[in-house]
Structure formats: structure tokens, C-alpha cells
């Protein structure tokens, strides 16, 4: 199996690459990543010399590059994670989301289609997507199921919805062997500190204000990143072609409750008096068009494919805080931008 994983230097992608490289020594794993601000090869130092692993720097918006690469390599499978992933950035710069998430995905579909030439035996194109395509829940009893109509509300989720539609359209029109998953919010080691949990950990540690958007009433459904990677492994190998699977751990948290829990954990870990870190909480102007609540119904993947999350949230959060405290250099390099200049000699960053 020659397997192409895109976006493997990012947060989730690096956990997927690690899992596949270590669990499947018989596969040849190619990690294609443009190393944007979110890509960091320091996420993969433990496996970078594995004999079944190759890193390729490249941009999925470059159709010719992808066509040439597919023609040369003859991939059997694709797990596509490369994306612009941060909602706040999509509000200030929607076009980069259109380019990478929509145009990049269609480029990748075309490259796979042209390389496989209708011979789909043993081939698989897996698109990793988000629950945000379903929009915002307002009724507390509602959950996102695989049948929930798409209703994206942010430029990020609109771009992911468009890419999902293209993947399904290629499955329907050209019979490309596609499978999709839509996952809830991830957290864990290597999470880029523009997202809520790592940003709060970083700011608590440095005694900086903790910016909570609006009233902190918005609800997100959190899953440990390694459990998402395990789910991707399950769906890649056992999922039915043409199907979509929602991934989540039935773990909803109001932002303000989550930030308070993080403050408590950090007070304990840093030897601060209880209540010290919570004083840093600062309510700031709400995100434009802020989705109220996401919550995944994950029964399909649990019942049909036997996947289950392995960690309780409190345990996962402790692990995550411990990782960030033990890897302060990683966090400092990312927040200072040093991780980009470190690799500049090898690869030019966008
Ligand atoms: P990330 O921002 O941490 O990583 C994205 C990676 O893609 C980076 O390594 C970046 O360099 C690479 N990339 C960006 N543009 C590229 C391009 N044009 N060509 C090649 N590589 C490019 O993102 P993440 O949080 O790891 O998310 C990965 C995927 O999972 C995304 O598709 C995202 O939509 C999806 N997802 C994320 C979450 C979450 O909570 N983070 C939840 C569900 C689904
Ligand atoms: P985020 O981690 O950006 O993920 P997403 O927007 O994709 O769900 O944000 C998670 C929640 O936390 C979301 O409701 C926005 C909120 N938030 C804050 O309150 N403050 C912050 O500084 C950030 C980054 C997010």
C-alpha cells in the first residue's frame, strides 16, 4: 500500500501519520504538506527516520505538481487532511480557505481520478472533514447525525462543506472510491496555540489574559486527537465506500466551564493557589457569526465499525496539559515563530 496523507505536519495529520507509520510498517507512507504557518515538522521528529516514511513539501493548490506526483508514485490510497483550519482566520481571509480547502481538494480528486484511470480495485480516497458543515444547534436535544442537512455558517465551514460536496460528487459521477468523516473539535498534544485549549494553556502559564468570546456560553464537543486518528484508521480500513461517518465522544462543554476547568488543572500543576488562573479570564467581543453549539451523534461509527473513544475528557485534558508543560520549547518555538525559521534552510515557508 502506497498511502498519501496530506496535511501530515499539522495537528491532527501528525497523529495520523505517526499511527499509520508505526502500526503499518508494510505501508509506504508519504506525507504531503505545504508547511504553512500550521505545519510543523517538529511534530514528527520521533518517526521522521522511519524506513516507511517520506516527507514531501508541496502545495495542493498546485494541480500540475499533484498530477506529476500521482503519475510518478501511483498511490493506492489518499487520506486528505490538508486544510486551512481556523475559523477566525477564515473571517479575515476567506480566499485562502477557498484555495486550499476547495480548489486544493478538487485538484487532489482530479489527480487521483487521472492516476487510477477507472481501475479502482484496492483504491480509496478518504476525506477528513468537520462537524461544522452542519451549522449550529439551537435545540438542546438535537445532535448532528449523518443525515443532518448541511448548513455551514462560517467561511471555514462553507469551504469544508464545498469540499465534502465535491468528494461525494466525484464518488457519484466518476465512481471514485470515496469515504468521508465529519469529526467534532479535537484537542491534545501539538495543537496549534491559536485554538481555544492550547491558547488558554499558553496564556495561563504566562499569566496573560484568557480571551473568552462573548459570554462563554458556546458549546463544543471535544475529542482527544489520538482517538480521532484511531477512528480514521478504522474508517480507512473498514468503512463502506460512499459512506459518511460522524466522529465524536459525546463530550459537550460550554467554553467558560472548560476554561475554568483548565484554570483549576493549571493551578494545581503550577503550584498556584486555587482560583489564581481564573482571575485571568477576560470576556472579549464575540466572534462574528459564532456558532452556538456543536454536538455529534457518533452511534453509526460505534455500532457499525466498533470504534470507541479510549479516553475520558478529564484524563485527556490532564495528558494534554502535561504534554504542553513538558514541551514548553515546542510551544515557545510556535508562539515566537522560531519553528518556521528553524526549517527555513530546508524548506521555504509561505
Ligand atoms: P492544522 O491547521 O493543524 O493543519 C493543517 C495542515 O495542512 C498543516 O500542516 C498545513 O501546513 C497543511 N496545509 C495547509 N494548506 C496546505 C496546502 N495548500 N497544501 C498542502 N498542505 C497544506 O489542521 P488540523 O486541526 O490538524 O485539521 C486537519 C484536518 O482535519 C482539516 O481538514 C480540518 O478541517 C479537519 N478537522 C479538524 C478538526 C479540529 O478540531 N482541529 C476537527 C474536525 C476536522
Ligand atoms: P476554536 O478552538 O477556534 O474551534 P472552533 O471555532 O472551530 O470550534 O474555538 C473553540 C471555541 O472557543 C469557539 O466557541 C470559540 C471559542 N474561543 C474563545 O472563546 N476564545 C478564543 O481565544 C478562541 C481561539 C476560541
- CA 1, CA 23: separation in Å to the nearest integer? 13
- Which H or E run contains 182? strand 178-183
- CA-to-CA dists, residue 165 to 71, 102, 236, angstroms: 25, 10, 19
Q: Let me know: does 248 contact 221? Beta carbons within 8 Å.
A: yes
Our answer to whether residue 151 is catalytic in this structure is no
Assigned fold of 2-186+225-251+294-311: Rossmann fold (3.40.50)
Local confidence pLDDT in tens for the 350 residues of the chain: 999 999 999 999 999 999 999 999 999 999 999 999 999 999 999 999 999 999 999 999 999 999 999 999 999 999 999 999 999 999 999 999 999 999 999 999 999 999 999 999 999 999 999 999 999 999 999 999 999 999 999 999 999 999 999 999 999 999 999 999 999 999 999 999 999 999 999 999 999 999 999 999 999 999 999 999 999 999 999 999 999 999 999 999 999 999 999 999 999 999 999 999 999 999 999 999 999 999 999 999 999 999 999 999 999 999 999 999 999 999 888 988 776 654 444 433 32
198 lines ligand 1 (CB under 6 A): no
CA dihedral 16, 299, 169, 242 (to 10 degrees): 80
- Which H or E run contains 211? strand 210-213
Show the CA angle centred on residue 289, arms to residues 284 and 295, nearest 5°.
95
Question: What burial letters (b/e) apply to 20-55, b meaning 16+ CB within 10 Å?
Answer: bbeeeeebbbbbbbbbbbbbbbbbbeebeeeebbeb
Place of cell 502500526: 23
Nearest to 197 by CA among 254, 251, 252, 262: 262
Residue 340: per-residue pLDDT: 67
- Residues 6 or more apart whose CB falls under 8 angstroms from that of 81 comprise 5, 6, 7, 8, 10, 12, 13, 16, 128
DSSP for 251-314, written as a single string: -EEEHHHHHHHHHHHHHHHHTPPTTTGGGGEEEEPPPTT---B--B--HHHHHHH-----S-HH
Our answer to whether residue 93 is catalytic in this structure is no
Between β-strands 281-284 and 185-187, what pairing exists: parallel, antiparallel or unpaired? Answer: unpaired
DSSP for 4-47, written as a single string: EEETTTSHHHHHHHHHHHHH-TTSEEEEEE---TT--GGGGTTT
Backbone angles phi, psi at 206, to 5 degrees: -100, 15
CA dihedral 225, 230, 236, 240 (to 10 degrees): -100
349 lines ligand 1 (CB under 6 A): no
Our answer to whether residue 131 is catalytic in this structure is yes
Residue 341: per-residue pLDDT: 59
Residue 265: per-residue pLDDT: 97
38 lines ligand 1 (CB under 6 A): yes
Nearest to 136 by CA among 310, 289, 308, 330: 289
252 lines ligand 1 (CB under 6 A): no
- CA 40, CA 33: separation in Å to the nearest integer? 9
Q: Let me know: does 262 contact 200? Beta carbons within 8 Å.
A: yes
Return the ligand 1 atom nearest residue 80 CA.
32
Q: How much of the chain is helix, strand and coil, in % rounded to 5?
A: 45, 15, 35
Q: Which of 53, 134, 156, 187 is catalytic?
A: 156
Return the ligand 2 atom nearest residue 85 CA.
7
What's the 256 CA to ligand 2 centre distance in angstroms? Answer: 11
Q: Which residues line ligand 2 (CB under 6 A)?
A: 87, 185, 195-196, 199, 211-213, 218, 220, 255, 287
Rounded to a whole number of angstroms, the distance between the first and last alpha carbons of the chain is 31
Where exactly are the structural domains of the chain?
2-186+225-251+294-311
248 lines ligand 1 (CB under 6 A): no
Between β-strands 252-254 and 219-224, what pairing exists: parallel, antiparallel or unpaired? Answer: antiparallel
Q: Which of 132, 227, 252, 291 is catalytic?
A: 132
Neighbouring-strand partners of residue 290: none
Q: How many other C-beta atoms are found inside a 10 Å radius of the C-beta of residue 126?
A: 22
Q: Which of 33, 59, 84, 131 is catalytic?
A: 131
What's the 250 CA to ligand 2 centre distance in angstroms? Answer: 18
Amino acid at each position: 500500500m502506497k498511502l498519501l496523507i496530506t496535511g501530515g505536519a499539522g495537528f491532527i495529520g501528525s497523529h495520523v501519520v505517526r499511527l499509520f507509520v508505526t502500526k503499518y510498517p508494510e505501508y509506504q507512507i508519504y506525507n504531503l504538506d505545504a508547511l504553512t504557518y500550521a505545519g510543523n515538522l517538529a511534530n514528527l521528529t520521533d518517526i521522521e527516520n522511519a524506513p516507511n516514511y517520506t516527507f514531501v513539501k508541496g502545495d495542493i493548490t498546485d494541480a500540475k505538481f499533484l498530477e506529476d506526483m500521482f503519475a510518478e508514485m501511483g498511490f493506492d490510497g489518499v487520506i486528505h487532511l490538508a486544510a486551512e483550519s481556523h475559523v477566525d482566520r477564515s473571517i479575515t481571509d476567506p480566499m485562502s480557505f477557498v484555495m486550499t480547502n476547495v480548489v486544493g481538494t478538487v485538484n487532489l480528486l482530479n489527480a487521483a481520478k487521472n492516476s487510477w484511470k477507472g481501475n479502482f480495485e484496492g483504491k480509496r480516497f478518504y476525506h477528513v472533514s468537520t462537524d461544522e458543515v452542519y451549522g449550529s444547534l439551537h435545540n438542546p436535544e438535537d445532535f448532528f447525525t449523518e443525515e443532518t442537512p448541511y448548513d455551514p455558517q462560517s467561511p471555514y465551514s462553507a469551504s469544508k462543506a464545498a469540499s465534502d460536496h465535491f468528494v461525494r460528487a466525484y464518488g457519484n459521477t466518476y465512481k471514485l472510491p470515496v469515504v468521508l468523516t465529519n469529526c467534532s473539535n479535537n484537542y491534545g498534544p501539538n495543537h496549534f496555540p491559536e485554538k481555544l485549549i492550547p491558547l488558554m494553556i499558553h496564556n495561563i502559564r504566562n499569566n496573560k489574559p484568557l480571551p473568552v468570546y462573548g459570554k462563554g456560553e458556546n458549546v463544543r464537543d471535544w475529542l482527544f486527537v489520538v482517538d480521532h486518528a484511531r477512528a480514521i484508521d478504522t474508517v480507512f480500513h473498514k468503512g463502506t465506500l460512499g459512506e459518511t461517518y460522524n466522529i465524536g465522544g459525546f463530550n459537550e462543554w460550554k467554553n467558560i466551564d472548560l476554561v475554568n476547568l483548565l484554570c483549576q488543572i493549571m493551578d494545581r500543576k503550577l503550584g498556584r493557589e486555587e482560583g489564581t488562573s481564573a482571575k485571568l479570564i477576560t470576556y472579549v467581543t464575540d466572534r462574528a457569526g459564532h456558532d452556538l453549539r456543536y454536538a455529534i451523534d457518533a452511534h453509526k461509527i460505534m455500532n457499525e465499525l466498533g470504534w470507541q473513544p479510549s479516553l475520558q475528557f478529564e484524563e485527556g485534558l490532564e495528558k494534554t496539559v502535561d504534554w504542553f508543560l513538558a514541551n514548553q520549547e515546542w510551544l515557545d518555538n510556535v508562539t515566537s515563530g522560531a519553528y518556521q525559521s528553524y526549517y527555513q534552510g530546508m524548506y521555504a515557508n509561505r
